[in-house]
Structure 1
């Protein structure tokens, strides 16, 4: 009788184990929203074309166009990579609260959020992306080809309080000291927003502080560096350094 009871108990345990193993963890969806700011003030398309921003250097400016490229936008967990987008062009005029959806649902857990500002050299292939070609995001061949990382245009009040143009365009830095032997430096950079934990469907906010392009670690003087910055090797490296404080993690809802 004792043997029969033991067999019955073992049977129940096996059934319970098998039942637990068969339960699938419910997967969740994750989206990524980019919100733009000037310091602490929200920045939207309605703020374009108005003199309302002051840089750390004391230059007053208005933004007429801001569009920038992000690539390799991923969540990473245990060497597995989940893709928001291989690359995307964000245009403030059209997408002042731009949202990306993760391409597939994921198991709840901890993931690292990373993306790249611009294209790394291996991806910065001249003429390779038809959608970017169509919107004139290419870099001229005399500067090495490939694509812009950012086109940031507007006007500022110069030392005579007159309206003057600025074209803060970020590309792969190129030294043209010898036109027959161009020297390149990859000035794209990776943004690592840390390890995030998800237990249910979530929306991650990425804060984009546009003022940082002019303030940290280099205080930018628009009276000195305003236009013709694409062929300026040193200016491109300064832009890359300042860009590394532009993006930060916001709320997760």
Structure 2
């Protein structure tokens, strides 16, 4: 009987050590939520701030926001990838993206602003079609990267509209031979060490769209920017300083 009891104790002890070893050597996967927030040089921006002249860009124009939605693709946390996410600030939708079964440890965090040419297939994504995020066929089709609309005070201090829409740049000098430039870009936020279920904030500084490296004059570039080949390249350059890593909670 004593031998049997000792044998059982050894088995239990071995099993316990094995479980502990597995837990330490092969940590259990966790859940990670990406939380997308917006700010204007550090001042939080939500839909409650829309339609109010409370922001001033680098060039000095006072701005109100009426609509802001943008698309991220190939969103990567470690080995996990989500195809795309449409973030709509005005409708408070798409502000969080959840990942399951993320390996604990150091994980890379990156995504693409807009669709790359390989993924920017006209009519491919029904959910984007249904919310009119398409680009007209005369501009080559595909999808917007961002639709950012509002008003600004012009040189006469009058309300004027702006439509800061980004997409794949297209040169239409010869309508029968459109020339395209992929103006989407990858944003690499580096690595995040994940130990438990985590929420990771990804911040968009809206003010950066108007100032770095190109100071934006809304009196000159305010609308009809979609077919403006040079303007699209400038907006792409400005967008590369827009996103940053925020708070990591776990």
Distance between the aligned counterparts of 1:19 and 1:63, measured in 2? 55
Query: CA 1:22/1:218 → structure 2, altered by over 3 Å: closer, same or farther?
Result: closer
Shift of 1:234: 0.4
Q: Deviations over 1:187-232 (max 9, x none)?
A: 0011100011011111001111101000101000000100000000
Equivalent-residue separation in structure 1 for 2:20 and 2:223 (angstroms): 65
Query: How far off is 1:245 after superposition?
Result: 0.8
Give TM-score scaled by structure 1 length.
0.88
Instruction: Say whether the 8 Å CA contact 1:175–1:231 is kept in structure 2.
Output: yes
Deviation at 1:247, TM superposition (A): 0.5
Could you say which residue in structure 2 is the equivalent of 1:75?
77
Decide which of 216, 223, 246 is 1:220's aligned counterpart.
Answer: 216
State whether residues 87 and 94 of structure 2, in contact with CA within 8 Å, keep that contact through their aligned partners in structure 1.
Answer: no
CA 1:44–1:19 in structure 2 vs 1: closer, same or farther (change >3 Å)?
Answer: closer
Output one character per residue of 1:76-117: Cα deviation in whole Å (capped at 9) or x when no partner.
2xxxx213x311111111227811110x22231001001111
1:58-207 superposed matches below 5 A: 58-76=60-78, 81-83=79-81, 85-95=82-92, 98-102=95-99, 104-207=100-203
- CA distance in 2 between partners of 1:207 and 1:154 (Å): 21
Structure 1: runs of 5+ lacking an equivalent: 1-7
3-state SS, counterpart of residue 39 of structure 2: strand
In structure 2, the CA distance between the partners of 1:19 and 1:232, relative to structure 1 (3 Å rule), is closer
Cα displacement (A) at 1:35:
1.0
Matches within 5 A, 1:44-63: 44-63=46-65
Q: Alpha-carbon deviations, 1:161-189, whole Å to 9, x = none? A: 11111100001000111111111000001
Q: Is the 8 A contact 2:66 2:149 kept in 1?
A: yes
Aligned residues: 237
Partner of 1:36: 38
Cα 1:226–1:22 change in 2 (3 A) is closer
Secondary structure of the 2:115 match is: coil
How far apart are the structure 1 equivalents of 2:118 and 2:230?
22
Contact 2:107 2:191 in 1 (8 A): yes
Query: How much has 1:40 moved relative to structure 2?
Result: 1.1
Secondary structure, aligned partner of 2:101 = coil
Q: Please say if residues 166 and 235 of structure 2, whose CA atoms lie closer than 8 Å, have aligned partners that are also in contact.
A: yes
Distance in 1 (alpha carbons) for counterparts of 2:118 and 2:205: 28
Unmatched 5+ residue regions in structure 2?
A: 1-6
User: Displaced runs of 4+ in structure 1, greater than 2 A?
Assistant: 15-27
CA distance in 1, matches of 2:45, 2:181: 31
